[in-house]
Amino acid sequence: QKPMYEHRSAFHMYSSGKVPLGLKRKGLRIVVTGGAGFVGSHLVDRLMERGDSVIVVDNFFTGRKENVMHHFGNPRFELIRHDVVEPLLLEVDQIYHLACPASPVHYKFNPVKTIKTNVVGTLNMLGLAKRVGARFLLTSTSEVYGDPLQHPQVETYWGNVNPIGVRSCYDEGKRTAETLTMDYHRGAGVEVRIARIFNTYGPRMCIDDGRVVSNFVAQALRKEPMTVYGDGKQTRSFQYVSDLVEGLMRLMEGEHVGPFNLGNPGEFTMLELAGVVRETIDPDAKIEYKPNTEDDPHKRKPDITKAKELLGWQPKVELRKGLPLMVSDFRKRIFGDHKEGGA
Ligand code: NAD
Ligand code: UDP
Ligand code: UDP
C-alpha cells in the first residue's frame, strides 16, 4: 500500500505551516483545465498575478488562445492543447477543473462529448490529483438543481433534474462529476473542493455563445432586437466574473470541501435584464419574443449563506456596475480593429 501523500508539494508545506515565518511564499504549480475559456482565463490572470506557475490544459472547443495570449513568453506560463477525456501526466500542487462547455448552445452541440468530458474528463483529473497528492477543485453548476422546486436554492437541496432531457448531458454530467469528486475524497483521501456556479457574465464571453447576457448585449450593440425566449418572466441571478474568481480561489485555499453556491443573489426576470441592457447601451433597443427552449428552469437564485459564513465571501459587483465593463469589451470586439471573436 502506497502512502496517501508521498508527494510533498510547496502547497502542502505552506498550508500546513511548515514554511518558516518570514520566508517568501513559494509559488505553486497549478493546472487550470479549460483555462483558455471565459472564467478560466480570468482565473489564470489572478494566479499569474499572485506569482504561481500555471499550466492551462484546453482543447479549444469554446476557448480561445487570445484569452491567454498575454501570458505567452512568461516562463511561469504553459499552454497545452489537450482533451481531458484522454489521460494526462503532470506534477502539480493544485488542479482547478473547469474544462466543459458551459453555454447550452455549446453543450447541446455534441451531448455525448459533453458527458464524456464531465465524466471521463473529471475521472482523469481526479486520477491525476490522487497520483500526485494535488488538491482538486470542481466547477459544478447551479444546473444540478434542475428546474428547482425550492427557492432560493440551498446546497442541501437535491434538485429536480430530468435525466433524459436535452440538458441532461450537462446537468447529469455535472452531478456525476460531483459524485466522482466525493468518492475520490472519501475513498482515496484526495483533497477536494466543489463550487456550484450560478450564471456568470463579463469580458471575454463568446460573443455568439447564445447565453442571455451575451446575446442581449451583442444584439443591442448591433441594433438588432433582443431575443426574449418565452414570456421573459423566468429568472436568473447574474454574477460578475471577478466575484466568481475570488470565490473559487477562497474555496481552493480554505479548509471546506463544499459544495458551495457561488453566485450573486440579485434576481432578474429576462425582461428586467433587457431593461438594464437598454439603460446601459441603447434606450431604444427593441425586444423580439421567441419560443423558449425545452426544460428551461423557471427560477434560479443562490442562497449564499454557507459561502458567506465559511469562506467569508460574497459578490461585490452588481449587475448595473458589471454590465458596462462587459459592454466595453464587446464593443471593442464587435466594432474594433480586431476581427470578431478576437480578444
Ligand atoms: P467556456 O466554454 O468559456 O470555457 C470552458 C473551457 O473548457 C473552454 O476553454 C473549452 O475549450 C474547454 N474545454 C471544453 N471541453 C474540453 C475538453 N474535453 N478538454 C479540454 N478542454 C475542454 O465556459 P466558462 O463559462 O468559462 O465555464 C467554465 C466552467 O464553469 C465550466 O465547467 C462550466 O460548466 C462552469 N460554469 C460556468 C457558468 C457560467 O455562467 N459561466 C455557470 C455554471 C458553471
Ligand atoms: N490518470 C491520469 N493522470 C494521472 C493519473 C491517472 O490521467 O496522473 C487517469 C487514469 O488514466 C485513469 C483515471 O485517471 O483513467 C483514474 O485513475 P485512477 O488511478 O484513480 O484509476 P485506475 O487507473 O486505477 O482506473
Ligand atoms: N434567454 C433569452 N434570450 C436569449 C438567450 C436566453 O431569453 O437570447 C433565456 C433562456 O430561455 C433562459 C435564460 O435566458 O431562461 C438564461 O439562459 P442562458 O442560456 O443564458 O443560461 P442558462 O441559465 O439557461 O444556462
Angle, alpha carbons 316-231-159 (nearest 5°): 60
Q: How far apart are CA 106 and CA 147, in angstroms?
A: 20
User: pLDDT tens for residues 214-238?
Assistant: 999 999 999 999 999 999 999 999 9
**The dihedral of CA 257, 259, 260, 263: what is its sign?**
positive
Tens digits of pLDDT across the chain (343 residues)? 443 433 445 555 555 545 445 555 679 999 999 999 999 999 999 999 999 999 999 999 999 999 999 999 999 999 999 999 999 999 999 999 999 999 999 999 999 999 999 999 999 999 999 999 999 999 999 999 999 999 999 999 999 999 999 999 999 999 999 999 999 999 999 999 999 999 999 999 999 889 999 999 999 999 999 999 999 999 999 999 999 999 999 999 999 999 999 999 999 999 999 999 999 999 999 999 999 988 888 889 999 999 999 999 999 999 999 999 999 999 999 998 554 444 4
Q: Tell how far the Cα of 105 is from the centroid of ligand 1, in angstroms.
A: 12
Cell of 60: 479549444
Virtual torsion, Cα 302, 303, 308, 310, nearest 10 deg: -110
Q: 178 Cβ partners below 8 Å, 6+ apart?
A: 138, 140, 144, 194, 259
Cell digits of residue 187? 475513498
Residue bearing the CA closest to ligand 2, atom 11 = 87
Supply the ipTM of this predicted assembly: 0.97
**DSSP H or E segment with residue 216:** helix 212-221
Q: Helix (H) and strand (E) counts for the chain? A: 11, 13
255 residue type, one letter: E
Which pTM does this prediction carry? 0.92
- Return the residue matching grid coordinates 509559488: 27
Distance of CA 290 to the CA centre of its chain: 27
DSSP 229: E
Ligand 3 mutation target, pool 139, 161, 212, most atoms within 8 A of CB: 212
Distance 17 CA to ligand 3 centre (A): 45
Q: Pocket of ligand 3, candidates 205, 236, 267, 292: which has the most ligand atoms within 8 Å of its Cβ, to mutate?
A: 236
Task: State which amino acid sits at residue 63.
Answer: G
